[in-house]
Amino acid sequence: MLPATPNISLGEPFIELTSIDSTNIYAMNLVHKGLALSGSCFRAHYQTQGKGQHGRNWESSAGLNLLCSYVLELKQLKSDKIWTPADQIGFSAAVALGVHSFFQGYAGSNTKIKKPNDIYWGDRKAGGILIENLVRGKDWTWTVVGIGININQMEFTHESAQPISLKQITQQNFELNKLQKELSICLKTELIHWITQGEAATLQKMEAECILIKK
C-alpha cells in the first residue's frame, strides 16, 4: 500500500511586507517567540539586509523580484515521525527541486541547480535559497526557507555574480502574486515527493533531472 499523501499547508497565510531587514530574520524571530504559524509565507517588496549563503547580501531592487520566506513546523509535515538534522539533506534537495521546477517552467531547460541550492540559467545566477533551522535537543522542529528569485529586474550592480532575471530571459513582465502561488505549488509538490518516496528518491531525482554545476 502506498503511503497516504500528506496534507501540507504552504503559502498560507500569505503576508506582504513593504520593507524589512530580511524575511528570514523576520520569520525566525516569530518562530523563537512562539508566534509563527506553520505554512506561512512572508514576502517583502524590499529587503535592507537580504541574506544569501555564507553571510552574503542578496541584491534586489524594490518591488521587482520574489523575496520570500516560508515557515514550516516539521511535525506538520508528518506528525508520526521524529525529525532530526539528518533529514535536512533530503529537505534541502526537495526545496531546490521545487524552485528549479518553478523557474524552469518559464525559462526552459537551460535552468540548472548549483549545489547545494542556487538556481542558475546557463552560467548566470537567477535565484538562491537560504534554509535556517531550529533544533531543540536532537529534534529538528522548525525551518525557515528563504528564497530570492530575480524576476522583473533588468539592471544589476554586482557584475561578478553574473545575475540574470526571468524578464531578461523571456522579455516579459511578470505579476508577482501569481508567481508566488505557483512557487508554493511547486515546493509543495517536491516536498510531498520527498516525504512519500524518501530521501534517496529525492536525491536521485535531483541528479537525474538537474544539471549540477561546480562553480
- pLDDT digit string, tens, across residues 186-201: 999 999 999 999 999 9
What CA–CA distance (Å, rounded) separates 143 from 212? Answer: 25
pLDDT at 59: 60
Residue range(s) defining the domain that contains residue 140: 14-213
Q: What's the grid cell of residue 78?
A: 508528518
Residues of the chain with pLDDT under 70: 1-4, 49-60, 158-161, 209, 211-215
* Counted domains in the chain: 1
Contact 60, 127 (CB under 8 A): no
Residue 3 lies inside a defined structural domain of this protein: no
Residue 96 lies inside a defined structural domain of this protein: yes
Residue 190 lies inside a defined structural domain of this protein: yes
What 3-state class would DSSP assign to 119? Answer: strand
pLDDT at 197: 93
Residue 7 lies inside a defined structural domain of this protein: no
Integer CA distances (angstroms), 179 to 83, 95, 104, 130, 159, in order: 30, 16, 13, 19, 26
Residue 111 lies inside a defined structural domain of this protein: yes
CB half-sphere exposure, 191, CA atoms < 13 A: 24
Q: What's the grid cell of residue 32?
A: 523563537
What CA–CA distance (Å, rounded) separates 172 from 174? Answer: 6
CATH code where residue 149 lies: 3.30.930.10
Residue 53 lies inside a defined structural domain of this protein: yes
Sheet of 66-73: strands edge to edge? 14-20, 41-47, 66-73, 139-149, 124-136, 118-121, 111-114, 212-213
What CA–CA distance (Å, rounded) separates 69 from 141? Answer: 17
Contact 96, 117 (CB under 8 A): yes
Q: What's the grid cell of residue 100?
A: 528549479
Residue 204 lies inside a defined structural domain of this protein: yes
Residue 144 lies inside a defined structural domain of this protein: yes
Strand partners of residue 17: 44
Phi, psi of 108 (to 5 degrees): 90, -175
Integer CA distances (angstroms), 47 to 24, 42, 179, in order: 10, 12, 19
Match 506561512 to its residue by C-alpha cell.
Answer: 40
